[in-house]
Amino acid sequence: MPGVPRDTRRRIGLLGGSFNPAHEGHRHISLEAMKRLDLDEVWWLVSPQNPLKSDDGMEPLATRVARARQLAHHPRIRVDAPELLLGTRYTLDTVRELRRLYPHAHFVWLMGADILPQLVRWLGWRELFETIPIAAFARPGWSYAALQSAAPRAFARYRLDAGQARRLATAAAPAWCFIPSRLDSHSATAIRAVRPRRSRAKGKTIPGPTRALPDRSKAPGDQLALVRHSLEDDKAEDIVVIDLAGKSSFADYMVIASGRSNRQVVAIADHLAERLKQAGHRHVSVEGKSVGDWVLVDSGDVVVHIFRPEPRAFYALEKMWALESEAAPRPARASRRKRA
């Protein structure tokens, strides 16, 4: 993780998954974990590809990381995709590598209780229990059923009472705890189910409340040209265009640019949004203006990230896209069970 010293002794929660997309449920579990387990921070480990899930409808890794960082928006939540650099594919291997890299850190694996019944399908799930303490957070409809599933029953005698949750990070594995926290009903599966597939059909509307799809009467290239002209006009620096055609369902281009200060970043975003609307692109959303370190302007075919130089270097979206395109797919191990 960028900026984390190898000799850190922090208490760190690990929340892994595809984050397709990241949602408030992920943030809820993270905040609850920091409070209930007395953690110093939580790391969101965005998986390049979950071995138990189809890649159908899976957004590109860089897109998922970028969206997750926007949603996390918390100084103690770090978002990255370490499996891409570690060369690991399974949770057990990733946890072992992180423990090797940060031998003095106190890690806890975080999950929603709905994951507990699936654990027996994970590669080396018993070894995972014996490697890292685990915290499972209540999910709507899953409390009793989850606790009666095979994995929790197999390690029943190592379960800590919720009142002892603050001990979990420093407890010797195997150790796990069920946290009956406030329930959060957000689900990535449900979000994908109701999220309309992107369409080029002019005038088509999204089913439900009269929300029209972004105006696609102009070619994406024209929209991109307008974006570039606006950014250059406002003295944006280091403009990079990433072609998403065939790689993502949410846009054709991603544009990354820098402003020298928070004020300039917000001004560049405001001017860009106004010019897009004047050009007939009515459905333009802007996120991140309250802070000004990173503002996202989403106009449908073109998504624009405007950073100050320091956050841009830290998040390194260009590098994330490059790493994803260079990463060769690893063959599955046919004779062994896979994990989530």
Is 264 in a helix, a strand, or coil?
helix
Averaged pLDDT, 243-252: 68
CATH assignment at residue 237: 3.30.460.10
Q: Does 30 fall in a domain? A: yes
pLDDT at 140 over 70: no
Q: Is 136 exposed, middle or buried (0-12, 13-18, 19+ CB in 10 A)?
A: buried
Residue 338, in any domain of the structure = no
Regarding whether 17 and 75 lie in a shared domain, the answer is: yes
Q: How many C-beta neighbours within 10 Å does residue 118 have?
A: 16
Spatial neighbors of 30 by CB under 8 A, at least 6 apart, are: 13, 15, 42, 44, 72, 74, 77, 110
67 and 174 assigned to the same domain? yes
Residues 24 and 165 both lie in one domain: yes
Query: Does residue 21 have a cis peptide bond before it, meaning omega lies within 30 degrees of 0?
Result: yes
User: Is residue 327 one of the residues assigned to a domain?
Assistant: no
Which of 215, 204, 213, 206 lies closest to 279 in space, CA to CA?
A: 215
For the chain, how many structural domains are there in total? 2
Helix orientation angle between 61-72 and 317-326, rounded to the nearest 10 degrees: 150
The two beta strands, 41-46 and 77-80, are parallel
Give yes or no: residues 130 and 230 share one domain.
no
DSSP SS3 for 256? strand
Q: How confident is the model at residue 138 (pLDDT cuts 50, 70, 90)?
A: confident
Asked if residue 241 has pLDDT above 70, the reply is yes
Q: In this structure, are 239 and 171 located in the same domain?
A: no
Asked if 142 and 44 sit in the same domain, the reply is yes
Are 17 and 76 in the same domain? yes
Mean pLDDT of 112-123: 90
pLDDT digits (tens, 9 = 90+) for 17-58: 999 888 888 998 999 999 999 999 999 999 987 655 555 667
Distances (CA, A) of 259 to 234, 239, 243, 322: 9, 10, 22, 23
What's 58's domain CATH number? 3.40.50.620
Residue 327, pLDDT score = 44
Using the 8-state DSSP alphabet, how is residue 12 labeled?
E
Regarding whether 299 and 155 lie in a shared domain, the answer is: no
Would 337 be classed as within a structural domain? no
- Tell whether 19 is covered by a domain: yes
The answer to the question of residue 179 being in a domain is yes
- Is position 38 within any domain? yes
| Same domain for 127 and 16 | yes
Bridge partner residues of 295 (DSSP): 306
Mean pLDDT of 226-232: 94
Residue 212, domain member (yes or no)? no
Assess whether 227 and 265 both reside in one domain: yes
Judgement on whether residues 118 and 228 belong to the same structural domain of the protein: no
Residue 269 lies in domain: 220-307
Answer yes or no: do 148 and 249 share one domain. Answer: no
